[in-house]
C-alpha cells in the first residue's frame, strides 16, 4: 500500500491543474480556431490535421504523464500499480501511433513531410516509447523474469521513461512552434492575436506540467522516518515490496 506522501500532495495537485489547463487549451485551439486546421484550398483533411495535436498532447503527453505519476499516489498492491502504469503507457503509445498515422493521409506520400526537426524528433519519440513499452512489458511481466535482471533493467527503464517523456514534450513544443509559424506566415494569423496567445499559453502550460511530473517522478516515495530497506533507499523505486515478489 503506497499512499502519496503529504509532501507529494501539492505536486500532484499542481500536475492535475497544469494537465487540465493543457487539455482545455488544446480543445480551445482545436475547436474555437478550427479554421486553422486543414490545408487550403481543400479542407478534406481538416479532421486528420486537428486530430494530430489532440492525439499527441492529450493522448501521448498527458496520459504518459499520468502513467509516470501513478507510482506516487495509487493505493493498492505493487502489481496493481504496475498494471495501471503499463496500461496507461500502452494507451499513450497507441495515441502517439494514431497521431502520426493522421499525417499519412496527405497526397504527398509517406516521406514527403519528413523534412522538419519536428517530424524527425516525432519518429525518435515513438520509436523510444515503443521500445520502452516492450522492454517494460518483458522485464516486469515475463513469467521467467529473475530478480537480478529486473534490478539491472529498472534504472534504465526509469531513465529512458523520463527521457522519452521529456522528448515527447519538446517535440510537441516544436510542433506548436511549427504550426503557429506556418499560420503566421501563410495565413496571416496575427502574432499578438488571441490564437497566438492560446498556443503560447499551451506551450507554457506543457512546460510547467513536465517540470511537475518529473519532480514527482524523482521524489522519494516513502516517509524518511520509516526504517528503509536497501530497495527503499533508491529514490526511483516506487514501493517497499521486494523485487522477487
Positions touching ligand HEM (CB under 6 A) are 52-53, 56-57, 60-61, 96, 100, 103-104, 113-114, 116, 118-119, 122-123, 125-126, 168, 171-172, 175-176, 178-179
Closer residue to ligand HEM (CB): 171 or 232? 171
Q: What is the C-alpha to C-alpha distance for residues 129 and 171, in angstroms, rounded to an integer?
A: 13
* Closest distance of CB 135 from ligand HEM, Å: 19
* Closest distance of CB 232 from ligand HEM, Å: 33
Q: Pick left, alpha or beta for residue 109 (phi over 0 → left; psi -120 to 50 → alpha; otherwise beta).
A: left
Residue 77 near residue 45, CB atoms below 8 Å: no
Q: What is the C-alpha to C-alpha distance for residues 66 and 205, in angstroms, rounded to an integer?
A: 15
DSSP string, 86-134: HHHHHHHHHHHHHHHHGGGGSTT-SSTTTTSHHHHHHHHHHHHHHHHHH
* Closest distance of CB 36 from ligand HEM, Å: 9
Task: Provide the grid cell at 160.
Answer: 529512458
Closer residue to ligand HEM (CB): 15 or 176? 176
* Closest distance of CB 106 from ligand HEM, Å: 7
Closer residue to ligand HEM (CB): 185 or 225? 185
Closer residue to ligand HEM (CB): 196 or 243? 196
Q: What is the C-alpha to C-alpha distance for residues 232 and 195, in angstroms, rounded to an integer?
A: 47
Q: How many residues does the chain have?
A: 245
Closer residue to ligand HEM (CB): 85 or 118? 118
End-to-end CA distance of the chain: 14
* Closest distance of CB 26 from ligand HEM, Å: 8
Closer residue to ligand HEM (CB): 33 or 236? 33
Closer residue to ligand HEM (CB): 113 or 149? 113
* Closest distance of CB 102 from ligand HEM, Å: 9
Q: How many CB atoms lie within 10 A of CB 4?
A: 17
Residue 157 near residue 173, CB atoms below 8 Å: no
* Closest distance of CB 11 from ligand HEM, Å: 23
Return the HEC string of 137-166: HHHHHCCCCCHHHHHHHHHHHHHHHHHHHH
Amino acid at each position: 500500500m503506497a499512499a502519496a506522501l503529504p509532501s507529494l500532495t501539492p505536486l500532484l495537485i499542481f500536475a492535475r491543474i497544469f494537465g487540465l489547463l493543457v487539455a482545455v487549451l488544446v480543445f480551445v485551439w482545436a475547436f474555437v480556431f478550427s479554421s486553422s486546421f486543414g490545408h487550403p484550398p481543400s479542407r478534406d483533411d481538416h479532421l486528420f490535421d486537428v486530430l494530430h495535436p489532440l492525439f499527441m498532447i492529450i493522448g501521448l503527453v498527458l496520459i504518459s504523464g499520468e502513467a509516470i505519476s501513478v507510482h506516487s499516489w495509487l493505493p493498492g498492491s505493487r502489481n496493481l500499480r504496475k498494471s495501471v502504469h503499463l496500461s496507461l503507457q500502452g494507451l499513450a503509445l497507441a495515441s502517439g501511433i494514431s497521431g502520426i498515422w493522421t499525417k499519412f493521409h496527405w497526397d504527398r506520400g509517406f516521406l514527403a513531410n519528413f523534412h522538419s526537426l519536428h517530424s524527425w524528433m516525432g519518429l525518435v519519440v515513438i520509436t523510444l516509447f515503443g521500445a520502452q513499452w516492450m522492454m517494460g512489458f518483458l522485464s516486469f511481466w515475463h513469467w521467467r523474469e529473475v530478480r537480478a535482471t529486473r534490478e539491472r533493467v529498472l534504472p534504465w527503464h526509469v531513465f529512458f521513461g523520463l527521457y522519452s517523456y521529456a522528448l515527447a514534450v519538446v517535440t510537441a513544443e516544436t510542433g506548436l512552434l511549427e504550426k503557429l509559424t506556418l499560420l503566421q506566415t501563410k495565413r496571416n494569423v496575427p502574432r499578438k492575436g488571441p490564437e497566438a496567445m492560446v498556443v503560447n499559453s499551451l506551450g507554457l502550460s506543457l512546460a510547467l506540467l513536465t517540470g511537475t511530473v518529473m519532480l514527482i517522478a524523482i521524489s522519494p516515495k516513502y516517509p524518511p522516518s520509516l526504517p528503509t530497506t536497501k530497495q527503499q533507499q533508491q529514490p526511483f523505486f516506487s514501493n517497499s515490496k521486494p523485487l522477487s515478489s
